[in-house]
Amino acid sequence: MDLPPNRIGYLPMVDRPIVSWPDGARVAFWVAPNVEHYEYLPPRDPRRNPWPRSPHPDVQGYAHRDYGNRVGFWRMLDVLDSYNVRCTASTNLAVFDHYPQIGKAMADRGWEIMSHGIYNTRYLSSLTESEEQEFYVDCIASLKRHTGQDLRGMLGPAVSNTVRTPDLMAEAGLTYHADWLHDDQPVPIKVQSGKLVSVPYSIELNDVPVFLQHHDPQDFVTMVKNQFDTLYEEGGQSGRVMALAIHPYLMGMPHRIDALDEMLDYVLGHADVWQPTASEIADHFIEHSYDHFVEHAAHISGEPNAC
């Protein structure tokens, strides 16, 4: 069926066109550091309270995350550098304004900056259509101003969105949306105009749920290795995507950093692994597979234009 609200046609993994990555790679492995700023006194949003622990400010919650920018980011950077990881940084774009050294470090390395909104405490959920359109204008201009980069995609701020989000993203000229967790391959997202694809992100291979739910760094390493092993084996048939989502305030802690080293060493130590940015995955998919996926989804559903 079409996943509501009818943006994604059903395509079973075992019956769909083959996805081929460059040089016959089995797995496209993208690494997404989430570089965030949570506001000390965020504006009130009646639908979601970013700091539910106490009346605002919640200095403990704030400082836990602030640690990521002051300390954790830099420790994480050393490990990422040692593997020359081409990161796709899921970035609250105001980070460039508040913390120019972090912005420069990312820009100097040629990381792709994926919008993660302006602040992690300002959600899309309650925005009107015109407010959301202005939001994309702001994101695109902010990134251009600070780095010269063209914005290519988004993970919604704190993974928030509206029903209109994919249409408005495509209208603003973005190419990929990372909020869709329904697949191990990119998938066309139906939009009113233009083309938009999902690039599989992960809320499971993600240090936030892993570490805030009492798992150890070694559990995370095991998860990452197992995820990779499964996708690598299946990727011999048709290319797969694996995302690793990390946050400086968690992964950059001294008791966890070695786990990141171990994960990267394992995954990048394999042949036939492609380590692109999210937009490179999206562009390759659009060029080689998008039309085949749309056609085949229509065939599966028995209806034309089902994808």
Partner 1 sequence: MPANRQEGMDHQHYDWSPLPERPILRWPKNAPLALGALVILEHYEWEPPEGSYGLRSPSGGLIKFPTPDYVQLTHREYGHRVGIFRVLDMLDRHGVPATIAVDATTALQYPWLIEHCMQRGCELIGHGIAASQLITSKMSADEEIETIGSSLNILEQQTGLRPRGWLSPEGVESSRTPQLAASAGLSYLCDWPNDEQPYKMSTADGDLTALPLFLELDDEFALWTRRASLDSWERMIVAAGSKMHADGQQTGRLLMLTLRPWLTGQPFRIQALGNALRSLAALDPIFMATGSQIVDSFAENLSAS
Contact residues for partner 1, defined by CB under 8 A: 1, 3-5, 8, 10-15, 47-48, 123, 125-126, 156, 159-163, 179-184, 203-205, 208-209, 213-215, 219, 222-224, 226-231, 234, 242, 300-301
Q: Would you say 96 or 228 has its CB closer to partner 1? A: 228
Q: Would you say 5 or 110 has its CB closer to partner 1? A: 5
User: Is 62 in contact with 56 (CB distance < 8 Å)?
Assistant: no
3-state SS, 83-143, equals CCCCCEEEECCCHHHHCHHHHHHHHHCCCEEEECCCCCCCCCCCCCHHHHHHHHHHHHHHH
To partner 1, the closest distance from the beta carbon of 108 in angstroms equals: 32
User: Is 226 in contact with 206 (CB distance < 8 Å)?
Assistant: no
To partner 1, the closest distance from the beta carbon of 206 in angstroms equals: 9
To partner 1, the closest distance from the beta carbon of 70 in angstroms equals: 25
To partner 1, the closest distance from the beta carbon of 230 in angstroms equals: 4
Q: Would you say 184 or 280 has its CB closer to partner 1? A: 184
Q: Would you say 82 or 226 has its CB closer to partner 1? A: 226
Q: Would you say 115 or 161 has its CB closer to partner 1? A: 161
* Cis before 57? omega within 30: yes
Cα–chain center distance at 160: 13
To partner 1, the closest distance from the beta carbon of 109 in angstroms equals: 28
Q: Would you say 103 or 117 has its CB closer to partner 1? A: 117
To partner 1, the closest distance from the beta carbon of 165 in angstroms equals: 8
To partner 1, the closest distance from the beta carbon of 104 in angstroms equals: 31
Q: Would you say 77 or 250 has its CB closer to partner 1? A: 250
